[in-house]
Amino acid sequence: MLTPAAAEKLICERLICLPIESLPLAQCAGAVLRENVYAERDQPPFDRVSMDGIALSAAAVQRGRRSFEMQATQAAGEPPLTLDSDAHCIEIMTGAVLPEGCDAVVPVEQIEVHAGIARLTAEAKPQSGSNVHRRGSDRAQGALLLSAGIRLHAPEIAVAASAGMARLRVSAQPAVVVISTGNELIEPGAPIAPHQIRRSNAYAVASALREHGFRRVADDHLPDDAAQLRERLDFHLRTHEALVLSGGVSMGRFDLLPKVLAELGVECVFHGIAQRPGKPMWFGIAPNGTAVFALPGNPVSTLVCLTRYVLPALYVAMGCQPAAPERLALAENVNWTPSLTGFLPVTLQADDWGRVWAVPAPPNGSGDFSTLAQTQGFVELPPGPAQFNKGFVTRLHRW
């Protein structure tokens, strides 16, 4: 069977890159950028005042002058004034252009104003450049600000706006359908018999997708019937970029998905990964390029496989640059089956020195989804030793 790394590699190799669309900047939060963004002008585009106060010539202060006649007031957004002489100063506001003839700003806390005269207090010792954000000191005109492949959050949106980008070229959102299978599944709120269970996996999967920024998420529930499976899956394969199925991929009599998908022309890229939980995971590609992720039906397995494979794969299809793996140390010893990669749910806790540790929160089997509440993700334990000691550093996957 494949290792998790080999399965991840196969998935990424077979995905089709999603198309590009142009969106207004206000609609780009969470999207994946598909073009580089360059500085429209020097940043800042002028010598920018960074404190409320008075603008003056620092040389005049160095020659011994401590009192200055208030010449005028300059607010942000106004053209720069020109200082009449070294004996004058200009009242200035944060964000304004530094007036001509001035090279320093004394903050309001260090001046006393009376009858139009500003006097410097003893602590005021302005130098050339004091409280001035020099033109181009952040970025020069034409400098690369944002690279294609990053996700756009508030700071990146602000940078794009500062570069004058009213629209951005971003990856189109994939249309994803979450499909659960099984006659035993009953919707929350509906009457339920003792032998039935609530349909929870689909809600968890759809919630995770939306939480990670995927907005085009549909939902369907299919019975354990080959004809109905074939009809609905054929429709979904034609109308979506990705199918995320839960259940029906093991070796039981009613695990019909692999056979039905094969009849619909979906190529099985792999079936089974050397891991626990989630060993029966199935992945395939339809003739039109639609990706099919068939996850095991046990709730812990479903969420682990979704987090470990599906979410990263969708980001890859959107052209997103992979993030560096996050690593943490185990807070206590852990015993594990040597032959399989292990995915162990954890909570994150900081010690008295501020170090964050991964505290194991093992479920009571892959059906015990209640244990997952309040966990932040899971760590990946490689096959090999029967015990991982406290302090063992390994990869963290956040839900």
Q: Quick count: other Cβ atoms within 10 Å of Cβ 258?
A: 19
- Tokens matching residue 277: 């939980």
Report which of 357, 366, 362, 360 is spatially closest to residue 393, judged by C-alpha positions: 357
pLDDT over threshold 60, residue 251: no
Its pTM stands at: 0.85
Please give the class, per CATH, of domain 4-18+173-317: alpha beta
What homologous superfamily is domain 48-133 in, according to CATH? Molybdopterin biosynthesis moea protein, domain 3. (2.170.190.11)
- Which residues make up the CATH 2.170.190.11 domain(s) of the chain? 48-133
Contact status, residue 158 vs residue 302, Cβ threshold 8 Å: no
Among 148-157, 250-259, 356-365, the minimum mean pLDDT is found in 250-259
Mean pLDDT of 359-376: 88
pLDDT digits (tens, 9 = 90+) for 313-339: 999 999 998 888 999 999 999 998 778
Residue 366 — pLDDT band, cuts 50, 70, 90?
confident
pLDDT tier at 26, thresholds 50, 70, 90: very high
Specify the DSSP class assigned to residue 389. -
Work out whether the CA dihedral 97, 99, 103, 108 comes out positive or negative. Answer: negative
Where in the chain are all domains bearing CATH 2.40.340.10?
Answer: 326-398
Q: In the predicted model, what is the mean pLDDT of residues 159-173?
A: 97
Instruction: Give the mean pLDDT of 36-40.
Output: 98
Domain with CATH 3.40.980.10 in the chain: 4-18+173-317
Model confidence at 367, pLDDT cuts 50, 70, 90, reads: confident
d(CA 96, CA 94): 6
- If pLDDT is split at 50, 70 and 90, which confidence band does 253 have? low
CA dihedral 203, 206, 210, 213 (to 10 degrees): 150
Q: List for the chain the helix, strand, coil content (%; round to 5).
A: 20, 35, 45
Most confident by average pLDDT, 2-11, 195-204, 379-388: 2-11
Is the domain 326-398 a CATH 3.40.1670.10 member?
A: no
Q: What is the pLDDT of residues 71-119, one digit of tens each?
A: 999 999 999 999 999 999 999 999 999 999 999 999 999 999 999 999 9
